Amino acid sequence: MRPLLDQQPVSAIAPPPRWRGLAFLLAISSVYLALLLYVDRDTGVLSRLAELPGSLALCAVLVSGSFAMRYQRWHCLLRVQGYEVHWGVGLRAYVAGFAFTASPGKAGELLRIRYFGNLNVPPQVVLATFIVERGQDLLVITALGVGVSALIPAFGALAMLVAGSLSVLYLATRWPWLLQKMGAIGDRLPFAWGRRLASFLIAGVSGVSPLLRWSVMLPGLVLGGSAWLLIALAFAALCSVLGMHLSWPQALGIYPVAMLAGAASFVPGGVGTTEAAIVLMLTTVGANMDVAVTAAIGIRLASLWLAIVMGMLAMASLEIRPARQCSRSASAATEGAFDS
Protein backbone atom coordinates (compact mmCIF):
# COMPACT_ATOMS: atom_id res chain seq x y z
CA MET A 1 0.00 0.00 0.00
CA ARG A 2 1.20 3.50 -0.83
CA PRO A 3 2.05 5.42 2.37
CA LEU A 4 0.29 8.70 2.93
CA LEU A 5 1.88 12.01 3.90
CA ASP A 6 5.45 10.74 4.04
CA GLN A 7 6.61 14.27 4.55
CA GLN A 8 4.65 14.66 7.81
CA PRO A 9 6.22 13.30 11.03
CA VAL A 10 3.75 11.60 13.35
CA SER A 11 4.55 14.06 16.12
CA ALA A 12 3.37 16.90 13.89
CA ILE A 13 -0.12 15.48 13.68
CA ALA A 14 -0.53 13.97 17.13
CA PRO A 15 -3.57 15.17 19.07
CA PRO A 16 -3.07 17.55 22.01
CA PRO A 17 -2.56 16.11 25.51
CA ARG A 18 -5.76 14.59 26.90
CA TRP A 19 -5.52 16.48 30.18
CA ARG A 20 -6.00 19.71 28.25
CA GLY A 21 -9.07 18.29 26.57
CA LEU A 22 -10.48 17.16 29.92
CA ALA A 23 -9.88 20.58 31.45
CA PHE A 24 -11.52 22.25 28.45
CA LEU A 25 -14.49 19.88 28.62
CA LEU A 26 -14.91 20.58 32.34
CA ALA A 27 -14.90 24.32 31.68
CA ILE A 28 -17.44 24.07 28.85
CA SER A 29 -19.68 21.79 30.91
CA SER A 30 -19.58 24.13 33.88
CA VAL A 31 -20.49 27.14 31.76
CA TYR A 32 -23.32 25.25 30.08
CA LEU A 33 -24.70 24.03 33.40
CA ALA A 34 -24.59 27.55 34.84
CA LEU A 35 -26.43 28.95 31.82
CA LEU A 36 -28.95 26.13 31.96
CA LEU A 37 -29.74 26.84 35.61
CA TYR A 38 -30.04 30.55 34.84
CA VAL A 39 -32.45 29.93 31.95
CA ASP A 40 -34.43 27.46 34.05
CA ARG A 41 -35.30 30.17 36.58
CA ASP A 42 -37.53 31.92 34.05
CA THR A 43 -38.63 29.08 31.77
CA GLY A 44 -38.81 25.97 33.95
CA VAL A 45 -37.16 24.06 31.16
CA LEU A 46 -35.67 21.38 33.42
CA SER A 47 -38.98 20.49 35.03
CA ARG A 48 -40.61 20.40 31.60
CA LEU A 49 -37.93 18.05 30.27
CA ALA A 50 -38.28 15.86 33.37
CA GLU A 51 -41.85 15.18 32.25
CA LEU A 52 -40.64 13.79 28.91
CA PRO A 53 -38.43 10.78 29.76
CA GLY A 54 -39.92 8.62 27.02
CA SER A 55 -39.49 11.25 24.33
CA LEU A 56 -35.91 12.01 25.36
CA ALA A 57 -35.16 8.27 25.40
CA LEU A 58 -36.52 7.98 21.83
CA CYS A 59 -34.32 10.91 20.79
CA ALA A 60 -31.32 9.22 22.38
CA VAL A 61 -32.04 5.97 20.49
CA LEU A 62 -32.35 7.78 17.15
CA VAL A 63 -29.18 9.79 17.79
CA SER A 64 -27.31 6.61 18.77
CA GLY A 65 -28.46 5.06 15.49
CA SER A 66 -27.01 8.06 13.67
CA PHE A 67 -23.68 7.45 15.38
CA ALA A 68 -23.68 3.86 14.11
CA MET A 69 -24.34 5.06 10.55
CA ARG A 70 -21.58 7.64 10.79
CA TYR A 71 -19.17 4.99 11.97
CA GLN A 72 -20.20 2.71 9.10
CA ARG A 73 -19.10 5.50 6.76
CA TRP A 74 -15.82 5.84 8.67
CA HIS A 75 -15.31 2.05 8.53
CA CYS A 76 -15.81 2.05 4.76
CA LEU A 77 -13.44 4.99 4.25
CA LEU A 78 -10.75 3.07 6.15
CA ARG A 79 -11.29 0.09 3.85
CA VAL A 80 -10.84 2.30 0.79
CA GLN A 81 -7.46 3.34 2.18
CA GLY A 82 -6.49 -0.29 2.74
CA TYR A 83 -7.27 -0.84 6.44
CA GLU A 84 -9.69 -3.48 7.63
CA VAL A 85 -10.76 -3.01 11.24
CA HIS A 86 -13.20 -5.19 13.16
CA TRP A 87 -16.50 -3.30 13.17
CA GLY A 88 -17.24 -3.46 16.88
CA VAL A 89 -13.67 -2.73 17.95
CA GLY A 90 -13.44 0.22 15.60
CA LEU A 91 -16.81 1.57 16.77
CA ARG A 92 -15.47 1.90 20.30
CA ALA A 93 -12.42 3.81 19.04
CA TYR A 94 -14.65 6.02 16.90
CA VAL A 95 -17.10 6.86 19.68
CA ALA A 96 -14.20 7.71 22.01
CA GLY A 97 -13.56 10.73 19.80
CA PHE A 98 -16.92 12.18 20.84
CA ALA A 99 -15.51 12.77 24.32
CA PHE A 100 -13.98 15.99 22.99
CA THR A 101 -16.45 16.79 20.22
CA ALA A 102 -17.21 20.14 21.93
CA SER A 103 -13.86 21.49 20.79
CA PRO A 104 -13.00 24.15 18.19
CA GLY A 105 -13.66 22.65 14.76
CA LYS A 106 -14.30 19.30 16.51
CA ALA A 107 -10.51 18.86 16.41
CA GLY A 108 -10.72 17.07 19.75
CA GLU A 109 -12.25 14.12 17.90
CA LEU A 110 -8.76 13.44 16.59
CA LEU A 111 -8.25 11.64 19.88
CA ARG A 112 -9.15 8.75 17.58
CA ILE A 113 -5.57 8.87 16.37
CA ARG A 114 -4.53 7.29 19.66
CA TYR A 115 -7.09 4.48 19.65
CA PHE A 116 -7.03 3.65 15.94
CA GLY A 117 -3.24 3.62 16.29
CA ASN A 118 -3.69 0.63 18.59
CA LEU A 119 -5.52 -0.99 15.67
CA ASN A 120 -2.56 -0.39 13.35
CA VAL A 121 -4.22 2.51 11.50
CA PRO A 122 -1.65 5.31 10.93
CA PRO A 123 -2.38 8.87 12.09
CA GLN A 124 -2.28 10.08 8.49
CA VAL A 125 -5.15 7.79 7.55
CA VAL A 126 -7.24 8.93 10.52
CA LEU A 127 -6.65 12.56 9.54
CA ALA A 128 -7.69 12.03 5.93
CA THR A 129 -10.82 10.17 7.03
CA PHE A 130 -11.66 12.93 9.52
CA ILE A 131 -11.42 15.62 6.84
CA VAL A 132 -13.65 13.76 4.40
CA GLU A 133 -16.18 13.04 7.15
CA ARG A 134 -16.35 16.71 8.11
CA GLY A 135 -16.70 17.77 4.48
CA GLN A 136 -19.53 15.34 3.79
CA ASP A 137 -21.35 16.42 6.95
CA LEU A 138 -21.16 20.06 5.88
CA LEU A 139 -22.63 19.18 2.48
CA VAL A 140 -25.45 17.16 4.04
CA ILE A 141 -26.53 19.68 6.66
CA THR A 142 -26.41 22.50 4.11
CA ALA A 143 -28.65 20.50 1.77
CA LEU A 144 -31.10 19.70 4.58
CA GLY A 145 -31.20 23.37 5.54
CA VAL A 146 -32.33 24.64 2.16
CA GLY A 147 -35.96 24.11 3.13
CA VAL A 148 -35.69 26.55 6.03
CA SER A 149 -33.26 29.01 4.48
CA ALA A 150 -35.85 31.79 4.79
CA LEU A 151 -35.72 31.49 8.59
CA ILE A 152 -32.04 32.43 8.70
CA PRO A 153 -31.19 35.66 6.84
CA ALA A 154 -27.53 34.66 6.74
CA PHE A 155 -28.16 31.20 5.28
CA GLY A 156 -26.89 32.25 1.86
CA ALA A 157 -23.66 33.49 3.39
CA LEU A 158 -23.29 30.26 5.39
CA ALA A 159 -23.87 28.15 2.27
CA MET A 160 -21.29 30.18 0.35
CA LEU A 161 -18.81 29.77 3.22
CA VAL A 162 -19.30 26.00 3.13
CA ALA A 163 -18.99 25.85 -0.66
CA GLY A 164 -15.91 28.06 -0.65
CA SER A 165 -14.16 26.11 2.12
CA LEU A 166 -14.81 22.74 0.49
CA SER A 167 -13.73 24.07 -2.91
CA VAL A 168 -10.43 25.30 -1.48
CA LEU A 169 -9.80 21.95 0.21
CA TYR A 170 -10.57 20.10 -3.02
CA LEU A 171 -8.28 22.31 -5.07
CA ALA A 172 -5.55 21.91 -2.45
CA THR A 173 -5.56 18.16 -3.12
CA ARG A 174 -4.89 18.91 -6.78
CA TRP A 175 -2.48 21.87 -6.53
CA PRO A 176 0.50 21.42 -4.13
CA TRP A 177 1.36 25.12 -4.27
CA LEU A 178 -2.09 25.98 -2.87
CA LEU A 179 -1.53 23.54 -0.02
CA GLN A 180 1.74 25.30 0.78
CA LYS A 181 -0.02 28.67 0.78
CA MET A 182 -2.67 27.32 3.16
CA GLY A 183 0.05 26.06 5.46
CA ALA A 184 1.70 29.49 5.52
CA ILE A 185 -1.63 31.15 6.34
CA GLY A 186 -2.33 28.61 9.07
CA ASP A 187 1.01 29.35 10.72
CA ARG A 188 -0.03 33.00 11.10
CA LEU A 189 -3.41 32.43 12.76
CA PRO A 190 -3.72 34.41 16.03
CA PHE A 191 -4.91 31.59 18.33
CA ALA A 192 -3.03 28.43 19.28
CA TRP A 193 -6.09 26.22 18.74
CA GLY A 194 -6.54 27.74 15.28
CA ARG A 195 -2.95 27.03 14.32
CA ARG A 196 -3.27 23.49 15.66
CA LEU A 197 -6.47 22.87 13.72
CA ALA A 198 -4.88 24.28 10.55
CA SER A 199 -1.88 22.00 11.08
CA PHE A 200 -4.18 18.98 11.39
CA LEU A 201 -6.00 19.92 8.20
CA ILE A 202 -2.87 20.57 6.17
CA ALA A 203 -1.32 17.31 7.32
CA GLY A 204 -4.39 15.36 6.25
CA VAL A 205 -5.34 17.02 2.97
CA SER A 206 -2.54 15.31 1.05
CA GLY A 207 -4.12 11.93 1.81
CA VAL A 208 -7.65 12.86 0.84
CA SER A 209 -7.43 12.36 -2.94
CA PRO A 210 -8.24 8.60 -2.96
CA LEU A 211 -11.43 9.36 -1.03
CA LEU A 212 -12.78 11.94 -3.49
CA ARG A 213 -13.80 9.51 -6.23
CA TRP A 214 -17.54 9.49 -6.87
CA SER A 215 -17.68 5.74 -6.20
CA VAL A 216 -16.53 6.56 -2.67
CA MET A 217 -18.22 9.92 -2.12
CA LEU A 218 -21.78 8.97 -3.12
CA PRO A 219 -22.21 6.03 -0.69
CA GLY A 220 -20.59 8.13 2.02
CA LEU A 221 -23.04 10.96 1.41
CA VAL A 222 -25.94 8.50 1.58
CA LEU A 223 -24.75 7.19 4.94
CA GLY A 224 -24.08 10.68 6.23
CA GLY A 225 -27.44 11.92 5.00
CA SER A 226 -29.23 9.02 6.67
CA ALA A 227 -27.42 9.72 9.94
CA TRP A 228 -28.40 13.39 9.94
CA LEU A 229 -31.97 12.53 8.98
CA LEU A 230 -32.22 10.37 12.11
CA ILE A 231 -31.16 13.32 14.27
CA ALA A 232 -33.58 15.61 12.43
CA LEU A 233 -36.36 13.08 13.04
CA ALA A 234 -35.47 13.02 16.74
CA PHE A 235 -35.80 16.81 16.82
CA ALA A 236 -39.11 16.67 14.92
CA ALA A 237 -40.47 14.07 17.36
CA LEU A 238 -39.50 16.19 20.36
CA CYS A 239 -41.13 19.27 18.85
CA SER A 240 -44.31 17.29 18.16
CA VAL A 241 -44.51 16.10 21.77
CA LEU A 242 -44.10 19.71 22.92
CA GLY A 243 -47.09 20.71 20.79
CA MET A 244 -45.28 22.37 17.88
CA HIS A 245 -46.67 21.56 14.45
CA LEU A 246 -43.87 22.01 11.94
CA SER A 247 -43.86 21.37 8.20
CA TRP A 248 -41.53 18.62 7.03
CA PRO A 249 -38.95 21.06 5.62
CA GLN A 250 -38.95 22.87 8.96
CA ALA A 251 -38.85 19.68 11.02
CA LEU A 252 -35.94 18.26 9.05
CA GLY A 253 -34.03 21.47 8.43
CA ILE A 254 -34.05 23.51 11.62
CA TYR A 255 -31.60 21.42 13.61
CA PRO A 256 -29.05 20.98 10.78
CA VAL A 257 -29.13 24.72 10.03
CA ALA A 258 -28.67 25.48 13.72
CA MET A 259 -25.63 23.17 13.74
CA LEU A 260 -24.26 25.05 10.73
CA ALA A 261 -24.78 28.37 12.49
CA GLY A 262 -23.08 27.00 15.60
CA ALA A 263 -20.09 25.86 13.56
CA ALA A 264 -19.86 29.22 11.80
CA SER A 265 -19.81 31.00 15.17
CA PHE A 266 -16.48 29.28 16.02
CA VAL A 267 -17.80 28.70 19.54
CA PRO A 268 -16.55 25.28 20.72
CA GLY A 269 -19.25 22.70 20.01
CA GLY A 270 -21.58 25.54 19.04
CA VAL A 271 -22.51 25.63 22.74
CA GLY A 272 -25.12 28.33 23.21
CA THR A 273 -25.10 29.54 19.61
CA THR A 274 -26.74 26.38 18.25
CA GLU A 275 -29.44 26.56 20.93
CA ALA A 276 -29.99 30.25 20.16
CA ALA A 277 -30.40 29.49 16.45
CA ILE A 278 -32.97 26.77 17.21
CA VAL A 279 -34.95 29.11 19.45
CA LEU A 280 -34.83 31.88 16.83
CA MET A 281 -36.17 29.65 14.08
CA LEU A 282 -38.86 28.01 16.22
CA THR A 283 -40.18 31.35 17.47
CA THR A 284 -40.14 32.65 13.89
CA VAL A 285 -42.54 29.88 12.88
CA GLY A 286 -44.83 30.68 15.82
CA ALA A 287 -43.59 28.61 18.76
CA ASN A 288 -43.82 29.91 22.32
CA MET A 289 -40.46 31.06 23.66
CA ASP A 290 -40.46 28.70 26.67
CA VAL A 291 -41.39 25.73 24.50
CA ALA A 292 -38.74 26.65 21.92
CA VAL A 293 -36.08 26.82 24.65
CA THR A 294 -37.19 23.42 25.95
CA ALA A 295 -36.90 21.87 22.49
CA ALA A 296 -33.48 23.41 21.92
CA ILE A 297 -32.02 22.23 25.21
CA GLY A 298 -33.73 18.84 25.00
CA ILE A 299 -32.30 17.96 21.59
CA ARG A 300 -28.85 19.18 22.61
CA LEU A 301 -28.91 17.00 25.72
CA ALA A 302 -29.91 14.04 23.53
CA SER A 303 -27.27 14.74 20.89
CA LEU A 304 -24.19 16.78 21.89
CA TRP A 305 -24.13 15.86 25.56
CA LEU A 306 -25.15 12.26 24.92
CA ALA A 307 -22.24 12.02 22.47
CA ILE A 308 -19.84 13.44 25.07
CA VAL A 309 -20.99 10.98 27.74
CA MET A 310 -20.75 8.04 25.34
CA GLY A 311 -17.33 9.25 24.25
CA MET A 312 -16.08 9.50 27.82
CA LEU A 313 -17.29 5.98 28.59
CA ALA A 314 -15.67 4.59 25.43
CA MET A 315 -12.43 6.43 26.18
CA ALA A 316 -12.37 5.14 29.76
CA SER A 317 -12.95 1.57 28.56
CA LEU A 318 -10.13 1.85 26.02
CA GLU A 319 -7.77 3.20 28.66
CA ILE A 320 -8.61 0.34 31.00
CA ARG A 321 -8.61 -2.36 28.32
CA PRO A 322 -6.93 -1.07 25.14
CA ALA A 323 -8.38 -2.56 21.96
CA ARG A 324 -5.75 -4.15 19.78
CA GLN A 325 -6.10 -5.83 16.46
CA CYS A 326 -3.81 -6.83 13.64
CA SER A 327 -5.56 -4.95 10.88
CA ARG A 328 -4.94 -6.41 7.48
CA SER A 329 -4.54 -4.58 4.22
CA ALA A 330 -7.76 -4.60 2.26
CA SER A 331 -7.59 -5.79 -1.32
CA ALA A 332 -8.03 -3.43 -4.25
CA ALA A 333 -11.45 -4.97 -4.79
CA THR A 334 -12.71 -3.37 -1.59
CA GLU A 335 -11.82 0.18 -2.62
CA GLY A 336 -15.32 0.85 -3.87
CA ALA A 337 -17.13 -1.47 -1.50
CA PHE A 338 -19.52 0.26 0.88
CA ASP A 339 -21.94 -2.60 1.15
CA SER A 340 -20.46 -4.40 4.14
Q: Name the residue ranges covered by the structural domains of the chain.
A: 40-318
Alpha-carbon distance values, 166 to 111, 136, 139, 160, 295 (Å): 23, 9, 9, 10, 31
The answer to whether 79 touches 330, Cβ cutoff 8 Å, is: yes
Residue 105 has a pLDDT of 65
Residue 45 has a pLDDT of 82
Residue 17 has a pLDDT of 55
Listed in order, strand segments (DSSP E) in the chain are 83-84, 328-329
Short-list 117, 132, 118, 125, CA closest to 73: 132
The answer to whether 268 touches 27, Cβ cutoff 8 Å, is: no
Alpha-carbon distance values, 240 to 233, 244, 263 (Å): 10, 5, 26
Report the alpha-carbon distance of residue 222 to residue 136 in Å, rounded: 10
Report the alpha-carbon distance of residue 233 to residue 281 in Å, rounded: 17
* Per-residue pLDDT tens digits of the chain, which is 340 residues long: 333 334 444 444 445 455 565 666 677 777 778 777 777 677 778 888 888 899 999 999 999 999 999 999 999 999 999 998 999 899 999 999 998 887 766 767 888 998 999 999 998 899 899 989 989 999 999 999 888 888 877 788 888 888 888 887 788 787 777 777 777 787 787 777 677 767 767 777 877 888 888 889 999 999 999 999 999 999 999 999 998 888 888 888 999 999 888 888 777 778 888 999 999 999 998 888 889 999 999 999 999 999 999 999 999 898 888 766 644 444 333 344 444 4
Report the alpha-carbon distance of residue 120 to residue 157 in Å, rounded: 41
The answer to whether 104 touches 193, Cβ cutoff 8 Å, is: yes
Q: Which residues contact 70 (CB under 8 A, 6 or more apart)?
A: 94, 133, 223, 224, 227
The answer to whether 144 touches 253, Cβ cutoff 8 Å, is: yes
The three-point CA angle 28-116-24 to 5° equals 10
Residue 2 has a pLDDT of 37
Give the bridge partners for 328, in sequence order.
84
Alpha-carbon distance values, 289 to 18, 144, 247 (Å): 39, 24, 19
DSSP-based three-state secondary structure for 158: helix
Report the alpha-carbon distance of residue 193 to residue 53 in Å, rounded: 37
